[in-house]
Chains A and B, each alone.
Chain A
Amino acid sequence: MSNKKFADLVERLIASTQNQSIHWNETSQGNIFQVSFKDYSVQIVCTYDDENTCYYRLRIVNENGEVVDEISTYDLRDYLPSAYSEMEGLFSLARRNALGVDKALDSILDQLDLPF
């Protein structure tokens, strides 16, 4: 049941990031991005193995700074058929959102539109 809710969370986070209603933050670890709510934070973590393949996990941190739950792409496979690509997509969106990539691109494109 909890995994199903996590699958729902992944989809909702993707939608909210795409419509820019949530703001992700960089962290001191380049492979973790987080978004905070009133009482909880959600962190997306990318861990590389020896073959440089990234394994994605989603963690929930409570207001006492404890990781209350954590889920990997493998745990989501029953509820999200394309769990890996969904998590990969979420990580990419979170990264772009946290670093302001879209804002930078918009600004550059706007300036390119101006006559030189």
Chain B
Amino acid sequence: MIEALKRAFETTVLGNLIGVVGLIVSIIGFIFTIVSLIRGKRAAIAAFDAAKQTRLQILSIDAVVECTQVLNLLEEVRRLYRAGAYDIIPDRVLAGKRSLITIKASLPQLSDQHQIVLQNAISQLVICEELMESFLDSKVGGIDLSKMPRIISSLSDSLVEFLVVVKSLVEE
């Protein structure tokens, strides 16, 4: 009888002990799973941010190339103006405008101030385009082109400043 009670006591204690150990192992396993999930989420966010940063850098490199191209086109417009090759100017102005539109669309994260610089340049080139078209279409003359070189120079200056900003985005 005593022997049976002793065995039953030992079985119960052992059972409880196993139960408690099992519970502790479960809790540790649960905590480990949660920690792993948090680490996994952090790694995924870091990977996403890195991909985003790389994409921004690629877009910024493209913008640097486009902006350099626009500056070369504006320089060419001034040369063509000095040489009196007016019929070629509208094509160059149009190409410059298209490149600026591409830059503006590809870098929406630019500050308001820099978006305004680009918007101003785009609409300035719209006016240059209209002016050149009127000049070339005009049979009686009287269209004044004299302001164009100064405006083109001023645009170049603002775009050089903008280029510095975009280059800094590439280096970040």
Task: List the B side residues contacting A61 at CB < 8 Å.
Answer: 122-123, 126
Task: List the A side residues contacting B145 at CB < 8 Å.
Answer: 28
Interface hub of B105, B119, B148 (most chain A Cβ within 10 A): B119
| Residue contact A26 to B147, C-beta cutoff 8 Å | yes
How many chain B residues touch the partner (CB < 8 A)?
Answer: 24
Task: List the A side residues contacting B151 at CB < 8 Å.
Answer: 26-28
Task: List the B side residues contacting A73 at CB < 8 Å.
Answer: none
Contact among A30, A38, A43 for B147, CB-based, below 8 A: A30
Q: Is residue B171 within 8 Å, beta carbon to beta carbon, of the partner chain? A: no
Q: Which of A22-44 contact B (CB under 8 A)?
A: 25-30, 32, 34, 36-41, 43
Task: List the A side residues contacting B124 at CB < 8 Å.
Answer: 25, 27-28, 34
| Residue contact A36 to B128, C-beta cutoff 8 Å | no
| Residue contact A38 to B115, C-beta cutoff 8 Å | yes
How many chain A residues touch the partner (CB < 8 A)?
Answer: 20
Which residue from chain B places its CB closest to the CB of A36 in the assembled complex?
A: B120
Q: Is residue A20 within 8 Å, beta carbon to beta carbon, of the partner chain? A: no
Q: Is residue B125 within 8 Å, beta carbon to beta carbon, of the partner chain? A: yes
Q: Is residue B8 within 8 Å, beta carbon to beta carbon, of the partner chain? A: no
A29 to chain B, nearest CB (A): 5
Task: List the B side residues contacting A40 at CB < 8 Å.
Answer: 119
Task: List the A side residues contacting B131 at CB < 8 Å.
Answer: 28-29
B131 to chain A, nearest CB (A): 5
| Residue contact B147 to A41, C-beta cutoff 8 Å | no
Write the B85-128 contact mask toward A (1 if CB under 8 angstroms, else 0). 00000000000010001001100000010011001101111111
Q: Is residue A69 within 8 Å, beta carbon to beta carbon, of the partner chain? A: no
B110 to chain A, nearest CB (A): 9
Contact among A30, A32, A38, A67 for B119, CB-based, below 8 A: A38
Contact among A32, A36, A64 for B101, CB-based, below 8 A: A64
Q: Give Cα A29–Cα B150 distance, bound, in whole angstroms.
A: 11
| Residue contact B127 to A27, C-beta cutoff 8 Å | yes
Q: Give Cα A26–Cα B148 distance, bound, in whole angstroms.
A: 10
| Residue contact B123 to A36, C-beta cutoff 8 Å | yes
Write the B121-162 contact mask toward A (1 if CB under 8 angstroms, else 0). 011111110110000000000001101100110000000000
Contact among B97, B112, B115, B116 for A65, CB-based, below 8 A: B97
Task: List the B side residues contacting A102 at CB < 8 Å.
Answer: none
Q: Give Cα A107–Cα B126 distance, bound, in whole angstroms.
A: 34
Can you list 16 residue pairs at the A/B interface with Cβ under 8 Å?
A26-B147, A28-B128, A29-B147, A30-B147, A32-B127, A34-B120, A36-B119, A36-B123, A37-B119, A41-B123, A61-B126, A63-B101, A63-B104, A65-B97, A65-B126, A67-B126
In order of increasing CB-CB distance, the 5 nearest A-B pairs are: A41-B123, A36-B120, A28-B148, A61-B123, A27-B127
